[in-house]
C-alpha cells in the first residue's frame, strides 16, 4: 500500500492551479481526517479506487510549466503502528517506493532526504528529480492509525522550495491525533 500511496501522489503531481495568482489561500479541513492545510484554490478531491484501507486525496494540478501542484493524501489504518520504529519504517518505504517509480519510469533521482517529525508522528521529507521541468518535494507522516502525505511539484528544486511551497507545507496542522486526542503542536 505504501508504494501505491507514493505512486499515486507522484503521478498526480506530475500532471497536477497555479498558486499566487490571487493569493487567496483557504484552509482545507476534510471531515474526520484529523488535519487542515492551506491550499491556493479549491482542490479536486476523491478516493483512490480499489485501495483498502482507502486513500483519500485533495489535489490542485499544475496549469503551466512554471506553476506548482499541491497534493495531500491521507489514509486511516485499521490498527495503530506498533511502535515509532514501525512508523519510521513505513515512511522510509514510502520514500523508497517513490524513488523506485521515479527511477524506473523517468530515470529520476533522489536530490535530498531527511527525517522529520510532527507531534507524535514520524516523517520524512524528500525531493525527487523526475525529468526536466518536473521535481517533487514530499513530506510523509505516519503514526497512530494515520498516514499523511503532502507533495508540491514544480519545474525545479527552487520552485518546490518557493514561498508558496513553504506556505503549504508549514500550514499543515493536526486537529487531533490518530488516537482521537487533541494534537500537541502543529507545524
CATH number, position 139: 3.40.1000.10
Number of domains the chain contains: 1
In a domain, 151, yes or no: yes
Q: Which helix (H) or strand (E) holds 186?
A: none
- pTM of this structure: 0.83
Closest CA relative to residue 111, chosen from 83, 87, 137? 137
In a domain, 147, yes or no: yes
In a domain, 6, yes or no: yes
Q: What is the SS3 assignment for 70?
A: strand
In a domain, 179, yes or no: no
What dihedral angle (degrees, nearest 10) is formed by the CA atoms of 52, 3, 61, 67? 160
What does each of the 187 residues of the chain score in pLDDT, given as a tens digit? 555 444 444 444 443 334 444 568 999 999 989 999 999 999 999 999 998 889 999 999 998 989 999 999 999 999 999 999 999 999 999 999 999 999 999 999 999 999 999 999 999 999 999 999 999 999 999 999 999 999 999 999 999 999 999 999 999 999 864 444 444 433 3
Predicted confidence at residue 175, as pLDDT, reads 87
Q: Quickly count helices (H) and strands (E) in the chain.
A: 3, 10
In a domain, 182, yes or no: no
In a domain, 187, yes or no: no
In a domain, 51, yes or no: yes
Predicted confidence at residue 23, as pLDDT, reads 65
* Cβ atoms < 10 Å from Cβ of 64: 8
Predicted confidence at residue 1, as pLDDT, reads 53
Could you list the residue range(s) of the whole structural domain that residue 52 is in? 2-174
Asked if residues 95 and 124 have their Cβ atoms less than 8 Å apart, the reply is yes
Report the b/e string of 134-157 with b at 16+ CB within 10 A: bbbbbbbbbbbbbbbbbbbbbbee
Amino acid at each position: 500500500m505504501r508504494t501505491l500511496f507514493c505512486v499515486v501522489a507522484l503521478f498526480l503531481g506530475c500532471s497536477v492551479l497555479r498558486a499566487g495568482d490571487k493569493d487567496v489561500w483557504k484552509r482545507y479541513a476534510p471531515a474526520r481526517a484529523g488535519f487542515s492545510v492551506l491550499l491556493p484554490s479549491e482542490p479536486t478531491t476523491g478516493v483512490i479506487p480499489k485501495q483498502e484501507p482507502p486513500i483519500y486525496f485533495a489535489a490542485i494540478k499544475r496549469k503551466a510549466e512554471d506553476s506548482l501542484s499541491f497534493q495531500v493524501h491521507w489514509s486511516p489504518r485499521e490498527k495503530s503502528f506498533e511502535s515509532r520504529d514501525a512508523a519510521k519504517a513505513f515512511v522510509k518505504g514510502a520514500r523508497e517506493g517513490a524513488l523506485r517509480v521515479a527511477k524506473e519510469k523517468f530515470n529520476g533521482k533522489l536530490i535530498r532526504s531527511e527525517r522529520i517529525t510532527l507531534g507524535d508522528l514520524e516523517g520524512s521529507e524528500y525531493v525527487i528529480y523526475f525529468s526536466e521541468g518536473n521535481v517533487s518535494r514530499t513530506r510523509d507522516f505516519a503514526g497512530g492509525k494515520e498516514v499523511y502525505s503532502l507533495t508540491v511539484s514544480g519545474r525545479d528544486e527552487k520552485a518546490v522550495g518557493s514561498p508558496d511551497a513553504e506556505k503549504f507545507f508549514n500550514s499543515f496542522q493536526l486537529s487531533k491525533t490518530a488516537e482521537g486526542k487533541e494534537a500537541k503542536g502543529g507545524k
